[in-house]
Amino acid sequence: MLNLDFHPSGRHFLQIPGPSPVPERILRAMSLPTIDHRGPEFGRLGLKVLKDIQQIFQTTQPVMIYPASGTGAWEAALVNVLSPGDEVLMYETGHFAALWHKMASRLGIKTRVISMSGETDGIPNAWRHGVQIDLIAEHLKKDSSHAVKAVCVVHNETSTGVTSNVHAVRVLLDELKHPALLMVDTISGLACAPYKHDEWGIDVSISGSQKGLMLPPGISFNALSQKAINVSKTAKMPKAFWAWDEIIELNKTGYWPYTPNTHLLYALSEACDMILDPQHGGLEAVFTRHKRFAAGVRAAVNAWGLPIQCADEKVYSPVLTGVILPSSVDADAVRKTIYERFDCSLGTGLGKLKGRMFRIGHLGDTNDLTLMGTLAGCEMGLKISGLKVQGGVQAAMDFFSSNPIPIPIPIPKPIPRPNPK
């Protein structure tokens, strides 16, 4: 039998930016028996998770839940609102924005890809900054015929650690009176960074289960606007499994037009209970927690004297921190050392960043001590690899000890015991 739990002792430190560590509460929820996906119990589960996920996206509009990865949700978003030959404007901020563009091209969609120009120390500037509104404006102002049917941007770019201001894109579209749909990938941003589907005027939000929602991979989402639903009724791209219309109709009673992923819906229900729990501060406390984790990790990286992949502190990601290494050092070899010596997995550099950086995830089921252990492993691994770094662990300790958790961990009340006779 294949051994999938080969760590000799203690817990493996899974500090990649997704799949994130899954809380035991959620793993226990997934162990419940399978139920009839056409029966009354499932209908109640379906209605609950559909209502809960609306609160996570901060929308009153329908949210599609697919038994698929985030890549499936990308495709669902494109095929439901576009027709063959339609043109979209795609802004490249990193590897996942580039992959979304690749998918659109394979589907026969005309794409205009824009990004910042130039590079620094061999790293593209576009992959160190967020969406530049002026570049989008420049292209849309020339589009007097409104050939561009959608603008596609990534909210939190998992490959670089940049969180873009996607609301500013909606403001621009409104100012220009451009009818293009706004489509946003928030696969790693949802339930980690502030995201307001309705208030920000997003037409299609794309997300997945394995990041801020703290679930295993396997379900993904499209949150819709009424405008997107209306456009989907005349869109001509081929679609069957991904089609919104049948899902919207059956979701009204808590069911799906195909066999859904029952056990991941159990997990989603539990995750939403945890994230939305008012006792722990709800969504706002979740956002504050991730922001605090990120600041502690950045304190360590700054003390090491290494560049942070995101070059603009205004758009630092609360989800992950990218660490650039000198061009003479193979970042993948450093990651391998940290994994083999200290049982800690870090994210690799993707695409144009391969071998130049590693990524520290600070999302999911984590806390101060998890991150301190991770940073200690990183600092030791960097030293073993020949980099003269020091003080990062102490800087993070100083940050976390001087910036306590805003909502303290509740202390259970003692159970009253009867007086002995």
Return the higher-pLDDT residue of 50 and 414. Answer: 50
CATH classification for the domain delimited by 33-277, as one of 2.60.120.460, 3.20.20.80, 3.40.640.10, 3.50.50.60:
3.40.640.10
Q: Over 90: is that where the pLDDT of 80 sits?
A: yes
Contact predicate 73/221, CB 8 Å:
yes
Q: Over 80: is that where the pLDDT of 413 sits?
A: no
Of 238, 231, 229, 226, nearest in space to 198 by CA: 226
> Which residues lie below 8 Å from residue 265, measured CB to CB, with a gap of 6+?
45, 46, 49, 65, 219
Q: Over 90: is that where the pLDDT of 416 sits?
A: no
Q: Over 90: is that where the pLDDT of 5 sits?
A: no
As a whole number of angstroms, the distance between CA 55 and CA 198 comes to: 11
pLDDT tier at 414 (50, 70, 90 boundaries)? confident
User: Over pLDDT 70: what percentage of the chain?
Assistant: 97
Residue 1, pLDDT score? 65
Question: Among 118-122, 182-186, 234-238, 273-277, where is mean pLDDT lowest?
Answer: 118-122
| 273-287 pLDDT per residue, tens | 999 999 889 999 999
Gyration radius of the chain's alpha carbons: 22
| 145-180 pLDDT per residue, tens | 999 999 999 999 999 999 999 999 999 999 999 999
Task: Provide mean pLDDT across the span 23-27.
Answer: 96
As a whole number of angstroms, the distance between CA 98 and CA 45 comes to: 36
Residue 175, pLDDT score? 98
Question: Among 4-13, 230-239, 289-298, where is mean pLDDT lowest?
Answer: 4-13
As a whole number of angstroms, the distance between CA 111 and CA 156 comes to: 21
Token pair belonging to 218: 């396997």
Residue 218, pLDDT score? 96
pTM: 0.94
Task: Provide mean pLDDT across the span 330-354.
Answer: 96
H or E element at residue 357: strand 357-361
| 321-337 pLDDT per residue, tens | 999 999 999 999 999 99
pLDDT tier at 102 (50, 70, 90 boundaries)? very high
> Which residues lie below 8 Å from residue 258, measured CB to CB, with a gap of 6+?
67, 241
Q: Over 80: is that where the pLDDT of 421 sits?
A: no
pLDDT tier at 3 (50, 70, 90 boundaries)? confident
Provide, for the chain, the percentages of residues in helix, strand and coil under a 3-state DSSP scheme, each rounded to the nearest 5: 40, 15, 45
Contact predicate 322/310, CB 8 Å:
yes
User: Over pLDDT 90: what percentage of the chain?
Assistant: 91
Return the higher-pLDDT residue of 62 and 420. Answer: 62
pLDDT tier at 256 (50, 70, 90 boundaries)? very high
Residue 410, pLDDT score? 67
Task: Provide mean pLDDT across the span 265-271.
Answer: 98
Specify the fold of 13-20+279-402: Aspartate Aminotransferase, domain 1 (3.90.1150)
Average pLDDT value for the chain: 95
Q: Over 70: is that where the pLDDT of 420 sits?
A: no
Domain ranges of the chain: 13-20+279-402, 33-277
